[in-house]
Amino acid sequence: MTSARPALLGGPELGLALRGLARRLGARRPRFLRGERVERPLVARRVRTERLVLRRHRMSDAADWYAIQSCESVIRGLRWPVRDARQSRQHLRDRTRHHVLAQADDFLAYAVDFEGVLIGDVLLHLRDVNRATRSAEIGWVLNPDYTGQGFAAEAAQAALGLAFRRLGATVVFAEIEPTNVRSQGLAKRLGFEQRTPTRHALVREAWERGAAERRRPQRVIAEG
Ligand SMILES: CC(C)(COP(=O)(O)OP(=O)(O)OC[C@H]1O[C@@H](n2cnc3c(N)ncnc32)[C@H](O)[C@@H]1OP(=O)(O)O)[C@@H](O)C(=O)NCCC(=O)NCCS
């Protein structure tokens, strides 16, 4: 009689499984395991668009951030856990620390500021550093009180400009649940193409073509 042995993971399977688990837990690999760095890290500086300012998050945003995190549609759209005010502050604190893209898994969080109020957030995750295949993933959220006015598109457009022109991304991905119709609509308006049920992609050439048709250039203001 042969005894049944538990299946053991090894090699690349183990690596993938660990990476998946780390992602679900929100953990990032230690820096020394994250490979090469981009030749010129992207550091978040204030960006002024037609109506908005993109800037770093700060703890004085805590009440506005909690208002966003308390919205049922936001929790559903982003699959965020329900957070109380203290947990929301911790979450915000983490965001205040992420403002440089240099290595794979780094993320840069931009607060979306409209007339001095934090109305949302746009994120860039650096996924692939290799120059020929460099990629980033974008994420967005808006306080429902401010949706339906083109603010998310305006903020995302500025972040895409940084991803393609400054970071040198060849493609930007957006991961969107098939049920998230508003987010899918935004991706489509921005020129993303759907590749899988959840993955949408915008390649640099397509973004450049769209950029040529857009009106005003964004102004980058030195931080400080
Ligand atoms: C996804 C989300 C950011 C989209 O926000 P949004 O406001 O719908 O997106 P946009 O900025 O593109 O705005 C488009 C709307 O503004 C309107 N609009 C008004 N003025 C406009 C202007 N000057 N320019 C562009 N659009 C304008 C458009 O007609 C459109 O209206 P509609 O929704 O009635 O068709 C928002 O729904 C959200 O935060 N959801 C919860 C979080 C979430 O799911 N995040 C994504 C996870 S993948």
- Amino acid 11 reads G
SS3 140: strand
Cα-Cα-Cα-Cα torsion 199, 205, 206, 210, nearest 10 degrees, comes to 140
pLDDT at 104: 95
* CA gap 42, 101 in Å, rounded: 5
* CA-proximal residue: ligand 1, atom 19 (nearest): 149
184 CB under 6 A from ligand 1?
no
Per-chain mean pLDDT for the chain: 89
What value does the mean pLDDT take over residues 159-165?
97
**Domains by residue range for the chain, with CATH:** 40-221 (3.40.630.30)
**Distance spanning both ends of the chain, measured CA to CA:** 73
Q: Does the pLDDT of residue 3 top 60, yes or no? A: no
Instruction: Check residue 2 and give its pLDDT.
Output: 39
- pLDDT tens, 209-224? 988 887 555 667 766 4
pLDDT of residue 34: 77
Please, are residues 156 and 147 in contact by the beta-carbon 8 Å criterion?
no
Tell me the three state secondary structure of residue 83.
coil
Identify the CA nearest to 202 among candidates 181, 173, 180: 173
- Dihedral pair phi/psi, residue 109, rounded to 5°: -110, 125
Instruction: Tell me what the mean pLDDT of segment 173-182 comes to.
Output: 96
Cα 63 to ligand 1 centre (Å): 22
Identify which of 70, 173, 183, 188 to mutate to test ligand 1's pocket (most ligand atoms within 8 A of the CB). Answer: 183
What's the maximum distance between 2 C-alpha atoms anywhere in the chain? 75
Share of the chain above pLDDT 90, in %: 78
Q: What is the pLDDT of residues 56-73, one digit of tens each?
A: 999 999 999 999 999 999
Q: Which residue has the higher pLDDT, 131 or 221?
A: 131
pLDDT digit string (tens) for 6-45? 445 566 666 656 665 665 555 677 777 778 999 999 999 9
Mean per-residue pLDDT, 86-101: 96
C-beta of 183 in contact with ligand 1 (< 6 A): yes
- Ligand 1 pocket residue status of 150, Cβ below 6 Å: yes
Residues 6+ away with beta carbon under 8 Å from 120: 68, 111, 112, 140, 141, 142, 143, 146, 151, 152, 155
Average pLDDT over residues 191-203: 98
Q: For ligand 1, atom 9, name the residue with the nearest CA.
A: 152
Task: Tell me what pLDDT residue 221 has.
Answer: 72
